[in-house]
Structure 1
């Protein structure tokens, strides 16, 4: 029996990072939460204030026999502006910065190689600024933030469109 693995990605507001992964076979769960900070069990309000050191992220539990970590990396890149390290779209600041949080050395190497491939592709004219950092404690977000795209589809779709994320993805990833 295959052992499940974890992947953790930050790409701005975690509301917009769940659905892209949730639709793939082999993805067991996608959990919204906070990571990278010092405060234990932070709240949404505390993280949004920007003084906890946490980043909004998603923790993905996946079956590597059905979807590889490299495939998850490809999905990740297609959800963000990898040239913006000061937040994503309408969300600004460190709590919204894009980060690949690796859980082991194999993930670290895959993340670095994936970033290098994106840089070499020249898909973007600006440098790729996504951080690659070791995963630390992950704290699940409050219940109302989990699977937000399912609970509040109109709000989710409006936010995704008005933030600039939807148009950016279409512009830069229309061929994928």
Structure 2
């Protein structure tokens, strides 16, 4: 059975797990920190904005079931690609939108997808999501893992701005895919 990984940052990692976790071919999704200069950072250190880390999710997937391109397409549905300074209610560099790529092939797919999204006219602002080489990924503390299962009410409340974003920019895709 084949396995690959993808790393996406799109605001609070709590809100980034469920959309990917529910897809066929996904083996595991973990919340964590990446892109910084401190080894094994804690949540408190990342929140201090002194480590350079971004909250992200790492996804282990079977490329024979779901492609990296499909994951990137889903990423655009759940993260605002026009806001470089955070996502929804979450502000600051630790919440910036980033696609962290593990290979040149992933970079090509991500760049092509970003270019197509920019040309689509779907957004009235530039697409500013960064595409960067993957750096070490440090899993977040256990209480951050699978948050949508641990505190579904709070997760639902936190998802309201994302759902509003989806309704505004992606209603056709959400309706078609039942998301």
Fold in common (TM above 0.5): yes
Indicate conservation of the 8 Å contact 2:110/2:131, yes or no.
Answer: yes
Partner of 1:69: 68
How far apart are the structure 1 equivalents of 2:50 and 2:162? 25
Residue 165 of structure 2: which of 165, 168, 171 is its match? 168
Q: 2:78 aligns to what SS in structure 1?
A: coil
Map 1:26-105 onto structure 2 (within 5 A): 26-105=25-104
Following superposition, the deviation at residue 80 of structure 1 comes to 1.3
How far apart are the structure 1 equivalents of 2:80 and 2:165? 8
Answer yes or no: is 1:112 the counterpart of 2:111: yes
Question: What's the TM-score, normalizing by structure 2?
Answer: 0.95
How far apart are the structure 1 equivalents of 2:73 and 2:4? 17
Following superposition, the deviation at residue 3 of structure 1 comes to 2.6
Indicate conservation of the 8 Å contact 1:12/1:98, yes or no.
Answer: yes
How far apart are the structure 2 equivalents of 1:84 and 1:142? 27
Count of matched residue pairs: 173
Give the ranges of 4+ consecutive aligned residues of structure 1 lying more than 3 Å apart after TM superposition.
none
Indicate conservation of the 8 Å contact 2:9/2:55, yes or no.
Answer: yes
Question: What's the TM-score, normalizing by structure 1?
Answer: 0.97
